[in-house]
Structure 1
Amino acid sequence: MTHHQDPTHSSTTSATSDEAAFRPRRSVLYMPSSNARALEKAKTLACDAIILDLEDAVAPDAKVAARDAACAAVRSGGYGRRELIIRVNALGTEWHDADLAAACAAGPDAILVPKVGSADEVRSLVAAMEAAGTPEHTALWAMIETPAAILRVADIAAASERLTVLVLGTNDLVKELHAEHVPGRAPLLPSLGLALLGARATGTVVLDGVYNAVQDTEGFLQECTQGRQLGFDGKTLVHPGQVAGANEAFAPSPDAVEEARGILAAWEAGAGSGVVTHNGKMVEALHVETAERTLALHDAITALAADA
């Protein structure tokens, strides 16, 4: 089975690079590429990544102009260290081929494709990207938003090294399941769990879906906490007001950072002793790996803030 980079690894760094670095994706904000003011505002937001959307947020008669605007935004270089992703229209739509060709030429950090349903579709997309001469740094991201895709997540994620991130399309999933949006997301938990299993089995980043009620701050923060506890790497967002909450929820807390440092110190001090403890708890190699990941993510977030 294909194994990708660590879940916080930068998609702009090849798997063979000696400069592998963690890349936070706590807050991944959809911005309609048909809205010039939104694209300009995105340059000032503290989100880790921006999805320049050509799909749901763009009316049919604005698709071509939005495509041009998204590609111009990528080429502008005005977004600092924010990761830039272009979401094209889905396979089979009248806009997909032109969207993909334009996005490949623009060379964003990644191209996000909606409703990816199989490993064959991934391979077809990657072949199209390579035929278009897409830069090496441009990854493929895939939206997982149908029951069929949920049941094939591991196969989809393992289909190509170029596929580095899975994005849950929870609105479509709810619709396809004939379910309801409810606090706690009980109807979605089996799907979320399967998506996480497939992502972790293949070493692929996985992002939680959006929270629709943009005025419901409490509900949003509760869902962020749930997503982090389940194991998601970050959350996709539909409003700039959600950025700060997602950043805090998906970053290691000060207590977690302190605990990680303590575990590593205890492990180093106890090297060769056979049994290592910290705060009365046994420390094993798996705890050390978790602590190292926590500190790497903390350091990457600190670096982003310093470079903002």
Structure 2
Amino acid sequence: MITSSGNRGDAIRSDCFVEVSLHEAIGNSILIESKVNSLYGKSIHELCLRVLDFFELKNAHVFIDDKGALPFVIAARLEAAIRQMIKMDKEFLLPVEGKVFITGKEIKRRSRLYLPGNNPKLMLNAGIYGCDGIILDLEDSVAPDKKYEACFLVRNALRSVDFYGSERMVRINQLPAGLDDLSFIVPHSVNLIIIPKCEHANQVKAVDRRISEILGKENTDIHLMPIIESALGVIHAYEIASASPNVVALAIGLEDYTADIGAQRTNEAWESFYARSAVVNAARAAGIQPIDSVFSEIDDMNALAENVKKSKALGFAGMGCIHPRQVPVIHEYFNP
């Protein structure tokens, strides 16, 4: 049996591809292909041996195609490949780096930057852009066959990457699958869980209940942000916003919402005026922050500025962003 994890190809940076197989001969073997083998090959080899020893593998062959991956990435890729082969609950955890902190319910959430959960390159320096929140995304940005391995990478990133004070957010997968994601992230200093495609208050309660089960106590530290992305979600917006005291914000996702109502999204946004107003009203009535959708035209800063002005005029407190260059514009117009 051969299992693999990670990404490979000429365009890949700060990542690696790992392949693991078992053979009959006793003894582990490790083959590393890397342009920095002379500098880091020994440390990569030693890390792999530690992981193999932790999982009590004595007859494994490991192949690594390294593209400048840091230790937390290599460890995540190797563990994901091993645990596809051998089902177990053991976790190989590197030491936590940096300061662990809890965020307040009412901190500014003007900007939240989405990062694909299976792309370590984009995670490494994300904090330098000064966004209020960084989202490690396990949902739409991750291919279905990569979701399992992305959980290991996101877990390790939460423990190892310095996000320079940005609130540490993770968007889980749509429920019920998202409930399985929580065991990878809840114990590892996440500040806020984003619940996508939320349509009922019971979905929020299920996430909150699962978090408490993992923590072994009532959850009071990990915040929740449901995203409304359908007509039904809009109808139930207040019930969702008030479903738990841990809900600190209610967001709207307009790409899926407009598709759900059979409309095309436009810069004028008349097709979503009712839904956006309903989300703002529900959030404000529940005493939490309303958060607007992302603006997908990353090269048009003037259009973004106009969108942010309209968003703030409607009562939103912040919005999502998909590129770092959007952060300064969003902050400028959402500042008091």
TM-score normalized by structure 2?
Answer: 0.66
8 Å CA contact 1:158–1:202 kept in 2: the answer is yes
Q: What CA distance in whole angstroms lies between the structure 1 residues aligned with 2:206 and 2:121?
A: 35
Instruction: Please tell me whether residue 51 in structure 1 is matched to residue 51 in structure 2.
Output: no
Which of 225, 244, 249 aligns to 2:309? It is 225
Distance 1:240 1:218 in 2: 15
User: Within 5 Å, which residues of 2 pair with 1:213-292?
Assistant: 213-252=297-336
Residue pair 1:50, 1:83 contacting (<8 A) in 2 also: yes
Distance across 2 between alignment mates of 1:77 and 1:35:
13
Deviations 1:223-261 (A, max 9, x none): 111111111110101111111111111112xxxxxxxxx
1:108 is aligned to 2:199: no
**By percentage of residues, which structure has more strand?**
2
Higher relative contact order (CA 8 A, sep 6+): 1
What are the within-5 Å matches in structure 2 for residues 1-308 of structure 1? 12-13=103-104, 22-76=106-160, 78-93=162-177, 96-133=178-215, 136-252=220-336
Q: Which letter maps to 2:194?
A: L
1:224 corresponds to which letter in structure 2?
A: V
Equivalent pair of 1:157/1:163 in contact (CA under 8 Å) = yes
Gap change, CA 1:142 and 1:201, over 3 Å in 2: same
Structure 1 stretches (4+) deviating beyond 2 angstroms? 10-14
Q: Could you tell me which amino acid in structure 2 is paired with residue 111 of structure 1?
A: I
Give 1:214 shift.
1.2
Write the letter of the residue equivalent to 2:136: L
Q: CA RMSD in A?
A: 1.7
Q: Secondary structure at the match of 1:28?
A: strand
Superposition deviation, residue 11 in structure 1: 7.6
Indicate conservation of the 8 Å contact 1:103/1:111, yes or no: no
What is the total number of aligned residue pairs between the two structures?
Answer: 234
| Separation of aligned partners in 1, 2:297 and 2:229 | 19
8 Å Cα contact 1:11/1:110 also seen in 2? no
Query: Which is greater in Rg?
Result: 2
Is contact 1:11-1:164 (8 Å) kept?
A: no
Larger helix proportion, structure 1 or 2?
A: 1
8 Å Cα contact 1:141/1:165 also seen in 2? yes
Distance 1:143 1:153, change over 3 A: same
SS at 2:125 equivalent: helix
Q: Aligned partners of 1:27 and 1:58: how far apart in 2?
A: 21
TM-score normalised over the length of structure 1: 0.72
Contact 1:115-1:145 within 8 A present in 2 as well: yes
Report % sequence identity: 29
Q: SS at the partner of 1:236?
A: strand
Contact 1:104 1:129 in 2 (8 A): yes
Moved more, 128-137 or 170-179: 128-137
| Partner SS state of residue 124, structure 2 | helix
**Structure 2: which 5+ residue stretches go unaligned?**
1-100
Structure 1 counterpart of 2:104, one-letter code? T
8 Å Cα contact 2:305/2:330 also seen in 1:
yes
* Separation of aligned partners in 1, 2:276 and 2:283: 11
Distance 1:114 1:53 in 2: 10
Post-superposition offset of 1:183? 2.1
Aligned amino acid, residue 125 of structure 2: K
Judge which range, 108-117 or 133-142, deviates more.
133-142
Structure 1 unaligned regions, length at least 5: 1-9, 15-21, 253-308
C-alpha deviations, 1:45-100, integer Å up to 9, x for none? 1111111101111112221222112122222261121101011111034xx23312
